[in-house]
């Protein structure tokens, strides 16, 4: 795709963006779950079900808080940063005005998603009386992007950051889709996820097109350099250290005996997925590499050979 072929989605944004079309999501006081059981395996573990099943809702509320915290960091500190730099024409690659306009709608959307998430957290605290435990100051991308960018020469740092954010935006879209379809959770939370998904579907296509435009202009040496960096980013992105640290803090906050606490911590240690082609997020990542045309390049195929199914 050439930059001149880019078609803005401005009209779609005006008519469909959640900030334009959605009411405030109000948390229901009903018997539905506040967070999917499948997304917090700790509460399904043998020890948890035996020792403290009555603390399930506490654990799910804390996990929701962590999810919201992740959303706020992702939207405001990572996606917002690069979208804003493109919109204000401060990016190393110069994009046409239509791209920059669309990038500014991404800024507006992402900051709105963060605002809605914070509102939901405030409602949850008020309804449940459960205050958040210490939440992480970073997400995996907070470490993965700098690790990748540090390996790039100065003239490629913006490009590497663009590709990393595009990978994440395309990966999270699939993840949110599964969340939005879960019938066990409260309708307001399902609705929030569906709203998010509506915008993220537009965003994931935007980032793929930005990468296609950049990749079309990149010389072979630059492509090969970036290809060598991609596995480093993926390895850092798919680590489980931040989630594991949170789960350990959550276990410490449970009202259980020391033996049960130790058993839960042992079970959490075994929950990590190996970082290989069988990791549940790798299929989404590979789908992005295909849609963005990066996987058409032999150097990228070679660099990602361990992840190709």
- Quick one: pLDDT band at residue 308, thresholds 50, 70, 90? confident
Q: Which of 96-105, 160-169, 300-309 has the lowest mean pLDDT?
A: 300-309
79-108, pLDDT tens digit by residue? 999 999 999 999 988 899 999 999 999 999
pLDDT at position 175: 67
The answer to whether residue 308 is domain-embedded is no
The answer to whether residue 208 is domain-embedded is yes
Q: Which of 24-33, 100-109, 172-181, 187-196 has the lowest mean pLDDT?
A: 172-181
The answer to whether residue 229 is domain-embedded is yes
pLDDT at position 149: 98
**CATH number for the domain including 251?**
1.10.620.20
- Quick one: pLDDT band at residue 179, thresholds 50, 70, 90? confident
Question: Average pLDDT of 66-91?
Answer: 95
pLDDT at position 1: 66
Q: Which residues of 217-229 are buried (b: 16+ CB within 10 A; e: fewer)?
A: ebeeebbbbbbeb
Mean pLDDT computed over every residue of the chain: 92
Task: Evaluate if residue 126 carries a pLDDT over 80.
Answer: yes
pLDDT at position 194: 86
235-283, pLDDT tens digit by residue? 999 998 999 999 999 999 999 999 999 999 998 877 777 788 888 889 8
pLDDT at position 174: 67
Question: Average pLDDT of 15-40?
Answer: 92
The answer to whether residue 3 is domain-embedded is no
- Quick one: pLDDT band at residue 9, thresholds 50, 70, 90? very high
Q: What's the structural domain count of the chain?
A: 1
- The three-point CA angle 140-294-303 to 5° equals 70
The answer to whether residue 122 is domain-embedded is yes
- Quick one: pLDDT band at residue 165, thresholds 50, 70, 90? very high
Question: Average pLDDT of 40-52?
Answer: 93
The answer to whether residue 1 is domain-embedded is no
The answer to whether residue 245 is domain-embedded is yes
The answer to whether residue 215 is domain-embedded is yes
Domain membership of residue 231 as a residue range: 9-26+33-303
């Amino acid at each position: 795709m050439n930059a001149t072929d880019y078609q803005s989605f401005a009209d779609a944004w005006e008519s469909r963006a959640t900030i334009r079309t959605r009411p405030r999501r109000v948390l229901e006081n009903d018997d539905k779950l506040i967070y999917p059981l499948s997304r917090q395996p700790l509460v399904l573990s043998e020890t948890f079900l035996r020792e403290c099943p009555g603390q399930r809702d506490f654990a799910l509320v804390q996990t929701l808080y962590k999810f919201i915290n992740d959303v706020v960091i992702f939207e405001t500190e990572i996606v917002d940063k690069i979208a804003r730099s493109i919109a204000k024409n401060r990016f190393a690659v110069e994009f046409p005005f239509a791209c920059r306009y669309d990038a500014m709608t991404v800024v507006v959307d992402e900051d709105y998603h963060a605002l809605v998430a914070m509102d939901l957290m405030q409602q949850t605290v008020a309804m449940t009386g459960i205050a958040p435990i210490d939440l992480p100051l970073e997400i995996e991308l907070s470490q993965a992007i700098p690790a990748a960018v540090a390996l790039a020469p100065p003239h490629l740092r913006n490009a590497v950051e663009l590709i990393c954010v595009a990978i994440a935006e395309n990966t999270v879209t699939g993840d949110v889709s599964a969340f939005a379809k879960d019938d066990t959770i409260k309708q307001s939370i399902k609705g929030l996820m569906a709203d998010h998904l509506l915008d993220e579907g537009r965003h994931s296509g935007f980032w793929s097109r930005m990468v296609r435009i950049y990749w079309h202009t990149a010389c072979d040496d630059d492509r090969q350099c970036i290809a060598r960096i991609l596995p480093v980013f993926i390895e850092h992105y798919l680590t489980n250290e931040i989630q594991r640290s949170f789960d350990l803090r959550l276990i410490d906050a449970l009202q259980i005996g020391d033996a049960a606490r130790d058993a839960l911590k042992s079970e959490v240690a075994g929950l990590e997925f190996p970082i290989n082609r069988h990791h549940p997020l790798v299929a989404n990542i590979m789908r992005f590499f295909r849609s963005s045309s990066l996987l058409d390049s032999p150097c990228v195929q070679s660099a990602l050979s361990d992840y190709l199914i």
